[in-house]
């Protein structure tokens, strides 16, 4: 049996004295494509940062692929990709310098994929040699996604990966996610407020509220679920948006 | 026998119908109505997933359910084809039943808009004539 990509047990995280994660248990299985949902400020970014060891937790434990976070091997680290909501790092580098820097950190790096995505996603030769801080928000976000996909991670964590993208850019991203990522059996955790995009790709959803995962399940079952509560004749149809409001209110 | 492209389908994410169910309903309707003839090949899961920008598992799930129902069958080297005798083909009563979910949705919206039933029926008759 292979260990789950993510296993969290009783994770607590406080900012000042305010609890953000409060005894949170969560397990993400191999190959799951799961949307993490919650209100603004519910702690989705914090949860992702705690998963990745970017923030120290105040209690509980996190294991990635069966290894405790504080003793993560380089080999396991290389199996993980992350797109932060907003990255201010490496802004002085050009995209090519930044990608070369990351390439040196990973045992595996798919140059053909990187070049293909740069070409298809409109990061032309001129942009590739400009400092990243002079790229638009959308260009920076696309670059951040390319960086996270280049080493072909087995676990991909995406924090609002399309917030700066226009509809065409979002569709390009979804296509890459479908054909280049999900097809390979990659485990994907992502947060977004664009529920229609989430519905297209996520098979499972998890709702974060009050510092815990309060509801988790197969998205189709959750949407169909209303039928089971009230009987077939009085089915109250609900969309993902209805469900979001119902669960997170 | 025709091979259909993924343009066959149109989905609306964010609605009260899960995407897999929209696909199932569309294939059922098209098979019952004759736009999909017995032996016609459906677009592959991957093509469909890419065209619609949805998870391939969602398309597989829809195709799998339609196979269980006997609307589709898996044919070696071709993929999914419309079954020779789709269960509901020909029977007007069963075809009418396929329309019910869509009309129920329309009826609910009509009630929410507090529209007069006669006005709704007039509009529907008009729409039927327009698209004929």
Which pLDDT belongs to residue B87?
A: 52
Q: Identify the domain containing residue B116 by its residue range.
A: 92-131
Mean pLDDT for B59-69 is: 95
What is the rounded distance in angstroms from the CA atom of residue B102 to the CA atom of residue A38?
31
Name the residue among B18, B52, B105 with its Cβ closest to that of A223.
B18
Does B20 map to a domain? yes
Sheet strands side by side (includes A6-15) = A18-28, A6-15, A59-64, A67-68
The pLDDT of residue A5 is above 50? yes
Contacts B46 to A, Cβ<8 Å: 179, 183
Of A47-61, A85-99, A123-137, which gets the smallest average pLDDT? Answer: A85-99
CA distance B74 to chain A (A): 21
Residues B12 and B70 in one domain: yes
CA-nearest of A139, A145, A144 to A176 is A145
> Tens of pLDDT along A40-70?
999 999 999 999 999 999 999 999 999 999 9
Contacts A182 to B, Cβ<8 Å: 55-57
pLDDT band at A224 (very low <50, low <70, confident <90, very high): confident
Name the residue among A33, A179, A199 with its Cβ closest to that of B50.
A179
Q: Is residue A67 within 8 Å of A55, Cβ to Cβ?
A: no
Residues B11 and B74 in one domain: yes
**Coil, helix or strand at residue A207:** strand
Which pLDDT belongs to residue B98?
A: 79
pLDDT band at A107 (very low <50, low <70, confident <90, very high): very high
What is the rounded distance in angstroms from the CA atom of residue A213 to the CA atom of residue A204?
13
Does B1 map to a domain? no
Residues B117 and B97 in one domain: yes
Residues B34 and B96 in one domain: no
Which pLDDT belongs to residue A228?
A: 47
Contacts A33 to B, Cβ<8 Å: 55, 57
Q: Please judge whether B55 and A171 are an interchain contact, meaning their C-beta atoms are less than 8 angstroms apart.
A: no
Searching chain A, which residue's CA lies closest to the CA of residue B21? A220
Residues B124 and B60 in one domain: no
What the block records as the tokens of A23 is: 């005894």
Residues B11 and B72 in one domain: yes
Which pLDDT belongs to residue A234?
A: 47
Domain covering A1-79+153-160+187-249, topology: Rossmann fold (3.40.50)
Of A162-171, A177-186, B87-96, which gets the smallest average pLDDT? Answer: B87-96
Residues B45 and B106 in one domain: no
Contacts B15 to A, Cβ<8 Å: 239
Domain map (residue ranges) of chain A? 1-79+153-160+187-249, 83-152
What is the rounded distance in angstroms from the CA atom of residue B63 to the CA atom of residue B118?
39
Does B87 map to a domain? no
How many domains are contained in chain B?
Answer: 2
Q: What is the CATH number of the domain that holds B65?
A: 1.10.10.10
pLDDT band at B100 (very low <50, low <70, confident <90, very high): confident
Residues B62 and B31 in one domain: yes
Searching chain A, which residue's CA lies closest to the CA of residue B18? A220
ipTM of the complex: 0.87
* Concatenated DSSP letters of A52-80: TTSS--SEEEEEETTEEGGG--HHHHTTE
What is the rounded distance in angstroms from the CA atom of residue A145 to the CA atom of residue A156?
10
């Amino acid at each position: 049996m292979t260990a789950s990509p993510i296993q969290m047990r009783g994770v607590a995280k406080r900012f000042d004295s305010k609890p953000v994660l409060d005894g949170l248990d969560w397990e993400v299985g191999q190959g799951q494509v799961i949307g993490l949902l919650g209100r603004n400020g519910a702690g989705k970014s914090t949860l992702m940062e705690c998963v990745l060891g970017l923030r120290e937790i105040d209690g509980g434990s996190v294991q990635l692929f069966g290894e405790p976070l504080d003793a993560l091997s380089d080999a396991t680290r290389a199996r993980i990709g992350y797109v932060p909501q907003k990255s201010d790092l490496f802004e002085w580098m050009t995209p090519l310098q930044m990608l070369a820097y990351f390439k040196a950190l990973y045992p595996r790096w798919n140059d053909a994929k990187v070049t293909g995505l740069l070409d298809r996603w409109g990061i032309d030769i001129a942009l590739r040699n400009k400092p990243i801080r002079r790229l638009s928000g959308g260009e920076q976000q696309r670059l951040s996604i390319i960086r996270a996909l280049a080493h072909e991670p087995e676990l991909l964590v995406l924090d609002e990966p399309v917030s700066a993208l226009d509809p065409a850019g979002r569709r390009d991203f979804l296509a890459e996610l479908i054909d280049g990522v999900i097809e390979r059996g990659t485990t994907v955790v992502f947060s977004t407020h664009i529920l229609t995009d989430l519905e297209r790709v996520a098979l499972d959803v998890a709702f974060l509220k009050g510092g815990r995962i309060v509801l988790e399940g197969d998205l189709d079952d959750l949407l169909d679920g209303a039928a089971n509560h009230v009987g077939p004749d009085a089915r109250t149809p609900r969309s993902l948006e209805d469900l979001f409001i119902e669960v997170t209110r | 026998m025709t091979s259909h492209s993924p343009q066959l389908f149109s989905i609306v994410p964010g609605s009260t119908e899960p995407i897999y169910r929209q696909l199932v309903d569309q294939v059922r309707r098209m098979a019952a109505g004759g736009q999909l003839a017995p032996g016609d090949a459906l677009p592959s899961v991957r093509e469909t997933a890419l065209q619609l920008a949805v998870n391939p598992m969602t398309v597989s799930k829809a195709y799998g359910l339609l196979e269980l129902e006997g609307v589709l069958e898996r044919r070696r080297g071709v993929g999914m084809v419309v079954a020779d005798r789709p269960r509901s083909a020909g029977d007007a009563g069963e075809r009418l039943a396929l329309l019910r979910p869509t009309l129920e949705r329309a009826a609910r919206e009509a009630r929410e808009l507090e529209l007069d039933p006669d006005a709704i029926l007039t509009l529907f008759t008009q729409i039927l004539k327009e698209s004929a």
